[in-house]
């Protein structure tokens, strides 16, 4: 028997441990550069699956597989292993912090915890260590290393893991591979990166590519941004020296506090940053995805810019014109203006609650909008960039107006459905051109509209294409555009630009100032982006110093990816054509989508959390901000999940960040009477300063590139370093020791509280309320609240801190579960399931055992079915909670089955019951 084990393969450990447990121990050959472990049996058969090898050793011990061991092995191969490989890759190859990597595993760890807790034994299957324990332990060990990296709420798992790590075969296996992390890294780096496994995704990669499979299929993702960074590096001597120097500079290293000016205007020779966030459409309440996609991301960046003392203007407002508003106003019996007033206030309230720091939150229904939009239009007209053409449109003579698509109904030309809408048929789902509807009806008066040719104006995009491309080339060379923004723009250009209609037959809009078109308004896509300019004009009469000043102003546009073409192609074309030295976007920052639990946010289905409801959850605005920014869909879609919110709140905010800051402050209060003690830095302290300074530098680099979510990870790493530092140095013990120990306790406490003060500033863009609380508790004077280039001693010995109290509160599972139920969401996923897979209703009492054909039973059951049917209909009509209805429906089906059995029919199995 020959066992070959490449020490770098993630599967090496379990094979070695199982071999160690085999009756006749096998000496492994280490160092074979194979893809994974393999066992060559005397018969010549080669086992290439690590789990099968482990199973083989256990079979040799006489331990047959059971349902449970097989189940764990299968789970390990299909669920755990892909996630572990992805986590290791993230950490070792891409150098992301441990907790990031662990995040990928969280639902799997929870599954293990639950199983262990429920089974009541100390092992995964049966009463002793089985192949299941070895395989799962071997898979987890490389990521966890020791049980303390497991979240403390996973108590049972922690003790299982510790016991396994101490079990002799496992301990020996781990000792055989002392260099494992390094080898592992080399091994992983040679392979294609695992597919991204977003939080909670149970998809994943077949990581167990056997050696038979695709050896050497080395494809690497081209230019994935993490590649440049490399792993977390230990600070060099030079780093340490620089950090010590920075520390010694004290508050002098901080930028002077910002002098707020109103209005904010560009200043020559300074960095002038103009930030816009996509204008939310007025009659939709924004959901969490909208909030993280634009306003919250833009706010975080704006706050960062202000902290850097850059001259920053952040504007946004509601987009109010258009058909949708008109329709909605009609429905609600209001005038469009009344409707907009109402919803504008609602939006403003939501953003205030989220602490969005707009310099101005305006709206598009202003005189400035009319003036500026008409000016741009006139300039385009004068320069020959507008075309005139005829469109065929439906006109309702009795209402005296042209009908927008959503004001028409009729018969679908494809499937003859009688109530097709003007833009789409609800039955066959095909897109419809309103003029193609058969028997069209006006939705308002039910009259028959007629097809009428009408004149419209078009922006001649093909004519502007050359200018656009020249501009894009320049701006792309110098600016930070997210990859998706560049990609979407390129796709648009590749498909070729066509003239776009800029006028609409509506009344609720900016009037077109041209004879022959005076009864029309501008189409919203032309009009709305001009809102950025008009809202600024509403803020200051000197708006042109921002918007006609590309030499001095840097413009950042924040949006979700669906909005990219309007900001990268269409609006720049309007401004380039108008040719008035407009400030065009320098940095276009687009996010991907945020999903809700397993699906999408949906107002109509009542699924998801909407801006106005976040407040009602009782969860503080800063926790929402933190979690949304932590999840920010940078680079790929991400998903909001309640269980994850709980985990991040309790692990990152409470246990990591809050715990560190609170302890640092408490030590000052408890041990030093509230006064920062004297500090005498040892090499160990200096290393901590260097580590923190490296993280701060990284934070700045990422923030400058608007990689907000990654920058937040740096902040969390700093407090993690801080926690470790306190843990290792144990000031609470040393304070009770001799003079030297007490001095050491002083130094550690002093350094820690200064790190906490730095965190106060670093957190400001993300969680301004928490930041202010830290600064108030530590009594940091305003001139020392600035954000420096590294860690500096802002709270010198003798500084008196205030009252220190906890910053965060624990979220309880019941609380979060209640919220999840209230706001809807997908099925409970494996990680959160408190119960085994939904068992069907308890088996009916054995009445059905009576012989088929019993007339009394049949009659009884028929009555019961009828009664139950009525109940279900009543519940449905009363719109009772879905779960309740479902339970009754299940009962009804059960009864029907019994009836069928009693009648001697074969019961129909309800098909398609398990819909998603």
Q: What is the SS3 assignment for 606?
A: coil
Stretch that binds other proteins, among 24-32, 51-59, 528-536, 861-869 (CB under 8 A): 51-59
Among 70, 448, 552, 701, binds other proteins (CB under 8 A): 70
Contact 287, 612 (CB under 8 A): no
Q: What is the SS3 assignment for 457?
A: strand
The two structure tokens encoding residue 777: 């508790």
Name which of 45 and 259 has its Cβ closer to other proteins: 45
Name which of 162 and 202 has its Cβ closer to other proteins: 202
- The answer to the question of residue 168 lying near other proteins (CB under 8 A) is no
Rg (CA), the chain: 33
- The answer to the question of residue 67 lying near other proteins (CB under 8 A) is yes
d(CA 380, CA 504): 17
Q: What is the SS3 assignment for 426?
A: coil
- The answer to the question of residue 840 lying near other proteins (CB under 8 A) is yes
Q: How far is the CB of 52 from other proteins (least distance, A)?
A: 4
Q: Are strands 553-560 and 272-277 parallel, antiparallel or unpaired?
A: parallel
Among 19, 49, 410, 823, binds other proteins (CB under 8 A): 49
d(CA 162, CA 181): 19
Q: How far is the CB of 204 from other proteins (least distance, A)?
A: 8
Name which of 113 and 527 has its Cβ closer to other proteins: 113
Stretch that binds other proteins, among 202-210, 343-351, 492-500, 562-570 (CB under 8 A): 202-210
Stretch that binds other proteins, among 64-72, 364-372, 585-593, 887-895 (CB under 8 A): 64-72
Site for other proteins in 721-780 (CB under 8 A): none
d(CA 83, CA 194): 9
Site for other proteins in 613-652 (CB under 8 A): none
d(CA 710, CA 647): 19
Among 181, 214, 511, 796, binds other proteins (CB under 8 A): 214
What separation in angstroms does the CA of 133 have from each of 85, 125, 138, 490? 19, 8, 8, 52
Name which of 200 and 786 has its Cβ closer to other proteins: 200
Among 311, 777, 792, 829, binds other proteins (CB under 8 A): 829
Among 126, 198, 206, 565, binds other proteins (CB under 8 A): 206
- The answer to the question of residue 600 lying near other proteins (CB under 8 A) is no
Residues 6+ apart with CB under 8 A from 77: 49, 51, 208
List the one residue out of 262, 265, 263, 275 whose CA is nearest residue 305.
275
Among 32, 34, 40, 65, binds other proteins (CB under 8 A): 65
Name which of 596 and 624 has its Cβ closer to other proteins: 596
Contact 612, 348 (CB under 8 A): no
- The answer to the question of residue 181 lying near other proteins (CB under 8 A) is no
List the one residue out of 806, 761, 798 whose CA is nearest residue 782.
761
- The answer to the question of residue 250 lying near other proteins (CB under 8 A) is no
What separation in angstroms does the CA of 716 have from each of 244, 695, 702, 709? 22, 10, 14, 11
- DSSP element (H, E) containing 638: strand 638-640
Q: How far is the CB of 10 from other proteins (least distance, A)?
A: 14
Name which of 47 and 609 has its Cβ closer to other proteins: 47
Cα of 533 vs its chain's centroid, Å: 30
Among 12, 73, 288, 756, binds other proteins (CB under 8 A): 73
d(CA 105, CA 540): 51
Stretch that binds other proteins, among 46-54, 280-288, 472-480, 647-655 (CB under 8 A): 46-54
Name which of 250 and 830 has its Cβ closer to other proteins: 830
Q: How far is the CB of 48 from other proteins (least distance, A)?
A: 7
Stretch that binds other proteins, among 69-77, 335-343, 628-636, 773-781 (CB under 8 A): 69-77
Where do runs of H (alpha helix) occur along 120-218? 131-144, 155-166, 168-176, 180-189
- The answer to the question of residue 116 lying near other proteins (CB under 8 A) is no
List the one residue out of 630, 778, 772, 638 whose CA is nearest residue 709.
630
Among 213, 445, 728, 776, binds other proteins (CB under 8 A): 213
Q: Give the neighbor-by-neighbor strand order of the sheet with 420-421.
A: 420-421, 408-411, 438-442
- DSSP element (H, E) containing 80: none
- The answer to the question of residue 374 lying near other proteins (CB under 8 A) is no
Stretch that binds other proteins, among 315-323, 709-717, 802-810, 837-845 (CB under 8 A): 837-845
Stretch that binds other proteins, among 49-57, 149-157, 769-777, 793-801 (CB under 8 A): 49-57
Name which of 35 and 299 has its Cβ closer to other proteins: 35
Total site size for other proteins, rule CB under 8 A: 43
Residues 6+ apart with CB under 8 A from 134: 14, 17, 18, 21, 54, 164, 169, 170
- The answer to the question of residue 836 lying near other proteins (CB under 8 A) is yes
* DSSP state for residue 430 in the 8-state scheme: -
d(CA 819, CA 814): 9
d(CA 218, CA 880): 55
d(CA 193, CA 88): 10
Contact 314, 299 (CB under 8 A): yes
Stretch that binds other proteins, among 54-62, 121-129, 168-176, 283-291 (CB under 8 A): 54-62
Name which of 201 and 537 has its Cβ closer to other proteins: 201
Name which of 496 and 836 has its Cβ closer to other proteins: 836
- The answer to the question of residue 598 lying near other proteins (CB under 8 A) is yes
- The answer to the question of residue 55 lying near other proteins (CB under 8 A) is yes
Among 84, 157, 177, 201, binds other proteins (CB under 8 A): 201
Name which of 38 and 239 has its Cβ closer to other proteins: 38
Site track for other proteins across 74-93, x = CB under 8 A: xx-xx---------------
Site for other proteins in 842-901 (CB under 8 A): 843
Among 48, 402, 547, 627, binds other proteins (CB under 8 A): 48
Among 99, 208, 293, 440, binds other proteins (CB under 8 A): 208
Contact 436, 454 (CB under 8 A): no
Work out whether the CA dihedral 117, 118, 121, 125 comes out positive or negative.
Answer: negative
Among 45, 390, 604, 879, binds other proteins (CB under 8 A): 45
Name which of 203 and 606 has its Cβ closer to other proteins: 203
Name which of 214 and 769 has its Cβ closer to other proteins: 214
Residues 6+ apart with CB under 8 A from 360: 315, 316, 317, 535, 536, 538, 539
- The answer to the question of residue 52 lying near other proteins (CB under 8 A) is yes
Helix, strand, coil share of the chain (percent; to 5): 50, 10, 40
Q: How far is the CB of 519 from other proteins (least distance, A)?
A: 53
Among 30, 32, 34, 59, binds other proteins (CB under 8 A): 59
Q: Count CB atoms within 10 A of the CB of residue 881.
A: 10
- The answer to the question of residue 41 lying near other proteins (CB under 8 A) is yes
What separation in angstroms does the CA of 911 have from each of 844, 899, 916? 20, 18, 13
- The answer to the question of residue 51 lying near other proteins (CB under 8 A) is yes
Q: How far is the CB of 54 from other proteins (least distance, A)?
A: 9
d(CA 297, CA 289): 11
User: Which residues form the interface with other proteins (CB under 8 A)?
Assistant: 41, 43, 45, 47-49, 51-53, 55-56, 59-60, 65, 67, 70-71, 73-75, 77-78, 201-203, 206, 208-210, 212-214, 217, 598, 829-830, 836-840, 843, 914
């Amino acid at each position: 028997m020959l066992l070959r084990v490449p020490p770098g393969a993630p599967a090496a450990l379990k094979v070695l441990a199982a071999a160690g447990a085999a009756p006749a121990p096998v000496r492994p050959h280490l160092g074979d550069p194979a893809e994974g472990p393999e066992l060559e049996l005397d018969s010549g058969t080669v086992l290439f699956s690590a789990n099968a090898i482990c199973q083989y050793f256990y079979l040799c011990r006489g331990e047959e597989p059971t349902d449970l061991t097989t189940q764990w092995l299968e789970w390990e191969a299909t669920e755990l292993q892909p996630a572990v490989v992805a986590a290791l890759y993230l950490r070792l190859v891409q150098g992301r912090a441990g907790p990031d990597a662990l995040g990928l595993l969280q639902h799997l760890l929870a599954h293990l915890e639950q199983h262990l807790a429920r089974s009541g034994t100390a092992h995964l299957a049966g009463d002793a260590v089985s192949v299941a324990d070895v395989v799962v332990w071997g898979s987890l060990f490389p990521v966890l290393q020791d049980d303390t990296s497991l979240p403390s709420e996973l108590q049972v798992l922690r003790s299982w893991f510790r016991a396994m790590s101490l079990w002799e075969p496992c301990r020996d296996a781990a000792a055989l591979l002392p260099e494992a992390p390094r080898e592992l890294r080399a091994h992983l780096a040679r392979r294609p990166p695992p597919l991204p496994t977003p939080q909670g995704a149970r998809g994943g990669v077949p990581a167990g590519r056997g050696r038979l499979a695709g050896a050497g299929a080395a494809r690497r993702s081209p230019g994935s941004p993490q590649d440049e960074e490399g792993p977390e590096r230990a600070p060099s001597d030079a780093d340490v020296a620089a950090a010590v120097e920075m520390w010694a500079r004290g508050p002098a290293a901080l930028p002077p506090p910002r002098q707020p000016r109103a209005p904010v205007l560009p200043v020559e020779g300074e960095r002038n940053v103009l930030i816009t966030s996509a204008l939310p459409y007025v009659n939709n309440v924004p959901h969490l995805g909208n909030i993280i996609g634009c306003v919250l991301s833009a706010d975080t960046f704006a706050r960062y810019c202000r902290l850097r003392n850059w001259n920053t203007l952040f504007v946004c407002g509601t987009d109010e014109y258009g058909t949708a508003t008109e329709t909605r106003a009609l429905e609600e019996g209001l005038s469009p203006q009344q409707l907009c007033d109402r919803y504008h206030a609602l939006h403003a309230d939501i953003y205030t609650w989220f602490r969005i720091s707009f310099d101005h939150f305006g709206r598009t229904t202003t005189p400035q909008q009319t003036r500026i939009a008409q000016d741009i239009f006139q300039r385009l007209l004068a320069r020959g960039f507008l075309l005139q053409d005829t469109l065929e449109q439906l006109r309702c003579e009795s209402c005296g107006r042209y009908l927008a698509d959503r004001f028409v109904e009729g018969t679908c030309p494809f499937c003859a459905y009688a109530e097709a809408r003007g833009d789409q048929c609800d039955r066959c789902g095909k897109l419809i051109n309103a003029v193609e509807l058969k028997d069209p009806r006006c939705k308002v008066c039910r009259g028959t509209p007629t097809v009428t040719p009408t004149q419209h104006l078009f922006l001649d995009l093909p004519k502007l294409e050359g200018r656009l491309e020249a501009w894009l080339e320049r701006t792309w060379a110098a600016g930070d555009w997210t990859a998706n923004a560049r990609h979407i723009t390129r796709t648009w250009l590749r498909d070729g630009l066509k003239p776009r209609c800029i006028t609409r037959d509506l009344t609720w809009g900016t009037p077109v100032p041209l004879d022959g078109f005076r009864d029309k308004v501008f189409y919203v896509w032309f009009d709305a982006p001009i809102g950025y300019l008009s809202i600024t004009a509403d803020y200051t009469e000197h708006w042109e110093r921002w918007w006609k000043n590309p030499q001095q102003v840097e413009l950042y546009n924040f949006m979700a990816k669906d909005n990219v073409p309007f900001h990268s192609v269409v609006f720049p074309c309007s401004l380039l054509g108008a040719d008035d030295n407009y400030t065009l976007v320098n940095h276009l920052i687009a996010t991907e989508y945020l999903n809700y639990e397993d699906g999408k946010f949906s107002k109509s289905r009542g699924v998801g959390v909407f801006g106005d409801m976040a407040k009602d959850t009782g969860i503080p605005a800063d926790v929402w901000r933190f979690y949304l920014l932590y999840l920010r869909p940078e680079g790929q879609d991400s998903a909001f999940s309640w269980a994850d919110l709980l985990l991040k709140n309790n692990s990152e905010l409470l246990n990591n960040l809050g715990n560190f800051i609170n302890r640092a402050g408490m030590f000052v209060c408890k041990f030093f009477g509230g006064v920062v003690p004297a500090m005498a830095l040892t090499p160990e302290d200096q290393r901590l300063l260097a580590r923190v300074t490296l993280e701060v530098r990284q934070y700045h680099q990422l923030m400058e590139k608007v990689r907000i979510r990654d920058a937040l990870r740096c902040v969390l790493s700093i407090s993690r370093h801080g926690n470790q530092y306190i843990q290792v140095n144990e000031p609470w013990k040393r304070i009770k020791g001799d003079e030297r120990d007490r001095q050491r306790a002083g130094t550690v406490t002093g350094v820690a509280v200064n790190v906490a003060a730095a965190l106060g500033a670093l957190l400001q863009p993300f969680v301004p309320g928490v930041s202010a609380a830290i600064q108030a508790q530590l009594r940091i004077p305003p001139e020392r609240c600035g954000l420096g280039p590294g860690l500096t001693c802002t709270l010198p010995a003798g500084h008196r801190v205030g009252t220190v109290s906890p910053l965060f509160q624990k979220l309880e599972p019941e609380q979060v579960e209640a919220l999840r139920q209230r706001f809807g969401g997908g099925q409970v996923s494996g990680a959160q399931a408190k119960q085994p897979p939904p068992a069907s209703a308890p088996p009916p009492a054995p009445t059905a055992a009576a012989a088929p054909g019993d007339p009394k039973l049949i009659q009884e059951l028929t009555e019961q079915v009828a009664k139950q049917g009525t109940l279900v209909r009543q519940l449905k009509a009363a719109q009772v909670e879905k779960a309740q209805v479902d339970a009754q429906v299940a009962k009804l089906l059960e009864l029907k089955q019994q009836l069928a059995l009693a009648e001697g029919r074969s019961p129909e199995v309800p098909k398609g019951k398990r819909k998603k």
